Amino acid sequence: MMAGYKSKEVGGGGFNQWVMDDSTGQVRTQIHSSHGHTQLNLGYLIDQRGNNRGGLRGTGFELRTDAYGALRAQQGLYLSTWKRSGAQGAQIDASEAQQQLKNSEQRVKTLSDTAQQHNALPMQEGLDSLTQLNSDADVTYGSDDGAPSQGPGEQQRNGGDTAWAIRSGGRGKTPGYQQPLLIASSPADIATATPKSTHLHSGKHLTLSTGEDVSIASGKSLLASVAQSISLFAQNAGAKLFAAKGKIELQAQSDAMELTAQQGMKITSLAQLVEMSAQKEILLTSGGAYIRIIRGNIEVHAPGTIDIKGAKKTLSGPASMDYANKQLPIAVPAGLYDEQNRLMTSHGVPLEDVAVEVDIPDEGKKIFFTDQDGNIPRIFSDKPGNGKITLVPDELIVPAGADKYSPSKKS
């Protein structure tokens, strides 16, 4: 039932062996090197102890070693659990994987286009990368030159045993890759697991797509840092952000923030207060009426009725309240020059809420207001040189929403 060959290490106890086992219903082959207990087992896998046949270990193939291992394919590699009965079909027949990738490309394109229509950022670069992958995975190589034509009723099968395959003499075309791709595909689940860490890195794009849900669960934190933009888009069922404990902070540290709703907008504090603060101006408007708080003044204007009711109404002299606005961190963009100035009196008193005009190199003139410490916002430019600073008279201050200079006297 068993035949083979076993060699002996020169001057040592190691060996190499080749075993062929033709036992009924248990055909197998083993190539074994004692160095690292390295083995290739094919067929009906059992324990092999010398010339003794042991218990069942599995069926199929096993490549194992106690040392290192590597699997290399310079022109491309395909890992699959899709069925190919009787060793039929081409070596790189990845048709099922290709169909899944084409479905992914269509899904990414559809959602990307929809997101862009709703002012979210498109996934164009990821889509282009996926399109290129599908193109690289859908090629053939070989030649049909001189290969006989198929006879009536014959079906061509790469690597099959039909009469046509025999007559073809190894000629024909077969699937391959345009690039040295590594593709893994399965009709069931694919899983990776480790008690330590998992690392994924792409020098260019990482595209995730699924026909149903993407679920993320973390025992501690979910942290994401990106160098450019973040865009999240939900097409049909809305978006929710909850914190069971701790506060939620949203900051636009160098630009504006917009909150817009087609229907109503509700802001509620269930146990404390709602605060609104602005260094320059607060404007509330609806139906042509407005309340403006600007530079220590309050304007209440309406095209219709102003209705004030209360058991007691008090109108007295001036009063004010200092409010400390949060200071946001400022990071200097790579490759840019930065400059910040502070306005003070000759006695060292900061000049708060003073309008200044700054002439920025290659950007032109811009209006800024000093903060409570007299600081002018930090200026960034890709050109060296100081920006020229000029005080803007009160009568030339531009109210919020105006597109040109108009009178606005400071009290």
Domain enclosing residue 108, as ranges = 79-147+158-185
Per the confidence metrics, is the pTM higher than 0.85? no
Q: How confident is the model over 64-101, as pLDDT tens digits?
A: 999 999 999 999 999 999 998 887 888 899 999 999 99
Same domain? 45 vs 141 = no
Tell me, yes or no, whether 358 lies in a domain.
yes
Tell me, yes or no, whether 193 lies in a domain.
no
Q: How confident is the model at residue 185 (pLDDT cuts 50, 70, 90)?
A: very high
- Average pLDDT of span 29-51: 93
Residue at which a domain ends, from 44, 68, 92? 68
| Whether pLDDT at 400 is above 70 | no
Tell me, yes or no, whether 231 lies in a domain.
no
Tell me, yes or no, whether 279 lies in a domain.
no
Q: According to the model, what pLDDT value does residue 360 have?
A: 78
Mark residue 159 as left, alpha or beta (left: phi above 0; alpha: psi -120 to 50; beta: remaining). Answer: left
Q: According to the model, what pLDDT value does residue 165 have?
A: 62
- Average pLDDT of span 108-123: 94
| Whether pLDDT at 119 is above 70 | yes
Same domain? 110 vs 169 = yes
Tell me, yes or no, whether 131 lies in a domain.
yes
Q: According to the model, what pLDDT value does residue 147 have?
A: 56
Same domain? 122 vs 168 = yes
Residue at which a domain ends, from 24, 42, 68? 68
Q: What is the mean pLDDT of the chain?
A: 85
Check the CA dihedral 40-44-45-48 and report its sign: negative
- Average pLDDT of span 248-256: 88
Same domain? 36 vs 64 = yes
Tell me, yes or no, whether 283 lies in a domain.
no
Q: According to the model, what pLDDT value does residue 128 have?
A: 94
- Average pLDDT of span 144-148: 58
Same domain? 142 vs 122 = yes
3-state percent helix, strand, coil for the chain, nearest multiple of 5: 10, 25, 65
Q: According to the model, what pLDDT value does residue 163 have?
A: 65
Tell me, yes or no, whether 162 lies in a domain.
yes
| Whether pLDDT at 317 is above 80 | yes
Residue at which a domain ends, from 136, 167, 185? 185
Q: According to the model, what pLDDT value does residue 26 have?
A: 94
| Whether pLDDT at 18 is above 90 | yes
| Whether pLDDT at 229 is above 60 | yes
| Whether pLDDT at 103 is above 50 | yes
Tell me, yes or no, whether 43 lies in a domain.
yes
Same domain? 41 vs 105 = no
Check the CA dihedral 170-174-179-181 and report its sign: negative
Same domain? 57 vs 119 = no
Same domain? 18 vs 53 = yes
Domain count, the chain: 3
Residues in the chain: 411
- Average pLDDT of span 295-314: 92
Q: In the chain, what is the straight-line distance between the N-terminal and C-terminal CA atoms, in Å?
A: 108
Q: Identify the H or E element spanning 164.
A: helix 163-168
Same domain? 47 vs 122 = no
Same domain? 110 vs 43 = no
Same domain? 25 vs 122 = no
Same domain? 132 vs 111 = yes
